[in-house]
C-alpha cells in the first residue's frame, strides 16, 4: 500500500466513523495490535467458551459454586456488560450491533470478558455497572451488594472484575462502567490468583491474546489507560 493510498484510506475512515467507533476501528487495522481472533459471538459461546474452556465444568464467577458439564442453571455472563458496549458504540440493538459492528462482535466474542454465571445472578446484574456500596448495605445472593444501577461484588472477586473491565476498556477503547479509582483499588486489594492466571493462560491458547493486567499487574497504573479521568 502506497503512502497516498494509506492517507486516502484513513481519510475515508475518519469521514465514516467518529468517537469510540473511530478509535476502535483504527485499533483493528494497526499492525501488531493485540486482539482476540473470534468475531462470531454465538459460535464462540457454544463452541469455544462451553465447548473448550469450560468443557469439564468449573466454578461460577461471582458465587464460586462448582458446576458440571450439564448444568442448566448457568449461563455466560460478561464482566463488562454488553449493553454498555452497545451504548458506547451507538450501534443499536443486540442484533443490529452483531450485524453492523465489527468491534461489537469482537467484544461479545472475547473470552477474557466472558465468565460462567448463575442465570439468576446474571438476570439481576447484566445491565449494572460497578461501585462501592455503604458498609450497611445488605448483601444479597453470593455476597453481592446491589445499589442504583451498580453492584459491588464480593471481596474475593473484586480484582478479577477490575482486571476484566480494564482489559475491555484498554483493548476496545470503551468508557469505564464505574469509577477508575475503585477499579484500581480493587485490583490492588485482590491481586491475580492461581485460578485467574490459569484461566488467562488457557484463554491465550484458545484466543491468541493475553489479559496483560493479569500477567503484569503494574500495567494497571499506566497513565495512558486512564487519561485525565480519575
Taking a C-beta distance cutoff of 8 angstroms, is the pair 131, 147 a contact?
yes
For the entire predicted model, the pTM comes to: 0.83
pLDDT score at 35:
55
pLDDT score at 30:
38
Q: Percentage helix, strand, coil, to 5, in the chain? A: 55, 10, 35
Is residue 164 within a helix (H) or strand (E), and if so which, with residue range? helix 158-172
Q: How many helices (H) and strands (E) does the chain have?
A: 12, 7
pLDDT score at 20:
46
Q: Name residues whose C-beta falls within 8 Å of residue 120's C-beta, 6 or more positions apart in sequence.
A: 73, 141
Per-residue confidence in pLDDT tens, the chain, 230 aa:
444 443 343 444 444 444 444 444 444 443 334 556 778 999 999 999 999 999 999 999 999 999 987 677 899 999 999 999 999 999 999 999 999 999 999 999 999 999 999 998 888 777 789 999 988 888 888 889 988 889 999 999 999 999 999 999 999 999 999 999 999 999 999 999 999 999 999 999 999 999 999 999 999 999 888 865 44
How far is Cα 163 from Cα 77, in angstroms, rounded to an integer? Answer: 15
pLDDT score at 137:
81
CA-nearest of 182, 195, 189, 188 to 218 is 188
pLDDT score at 112:
98
Q: Name residues whose C-beta falls within 8 Å of residue 196's C-beta, 6 or more positions apart in sequence.
A: 159, 160, 163, 214
DSSP 8-state symbol, 131: -
pLDDT score at 28:
45
Taking a C-beta distance cutoff of 8 angstroms, is the pair 98, 108 a contact?
yes
Amino acid at each position: 500500500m502506497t503512502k497516498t493510498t494509506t492517507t486516502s484510506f484513513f481519510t475515508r475512515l475518519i469521514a465514516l466513523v467518529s468517537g469510540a467507533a473511530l478509535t476502535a476501528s483504527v485499533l483493528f487495522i494497526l499492525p501488531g495490535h493485540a486482539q482476540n481472533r473470534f468475531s462470531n459471538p454465538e459460535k464462540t459461546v457454544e463452541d469455544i467458551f462451553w465447548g473448550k474452556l469450560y468443557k469439564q465444568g468449573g466454578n461460577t464467577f461471582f458465587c464460586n459454586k462448582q458446576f458440571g458439564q450439564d448444568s442448566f442453571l448457568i449461563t455466560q455472563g460478561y464482566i463488562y456488560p454488553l449493553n454498555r458496549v452497545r451504548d458506547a458504540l451507538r450501534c443499536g440493538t443486540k442484533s443490529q450491533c452483531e450485524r453492523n459492528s465489527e468491534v461489537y462482535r469482537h467484544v461479545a466474542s472475547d473470552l477474557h470478558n466472558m465468565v460462567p454465571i448463575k442465570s439468576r445472578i446474571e438476570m439481576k446484574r447484566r445491565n449494572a455497572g460497578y461501585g462501592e456500596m455503604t458498609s450497611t448495605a445488605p448483601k444479597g445472593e453470593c455476597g453481592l451488594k446491589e445499589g442504583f444501577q451498580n453492584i459491588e461484588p464480593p471481596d474475593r472477586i473484586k480484582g478479577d472484575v477490575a482486571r476484566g473491565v480494564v482489559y475491555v476498556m484498554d483493548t476496545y477503547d470503551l468508557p469505564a462502567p464505574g469509577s477508575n479509582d475503585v477499579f484500581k483499588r480493587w485490583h490492588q486489594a485482590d491481586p491475580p490468583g492461581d485460578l485467574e492466571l490459569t484461566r488467562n493462560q488457557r484463554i491465550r491458547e484458545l484466543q491468541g491474546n493475553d489479559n496483560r493486567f493479569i500477567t503484569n499487574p503494574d500495567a494497571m497504573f499506566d497513565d495512558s489507560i486512564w487519561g485525565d479521568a480519575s
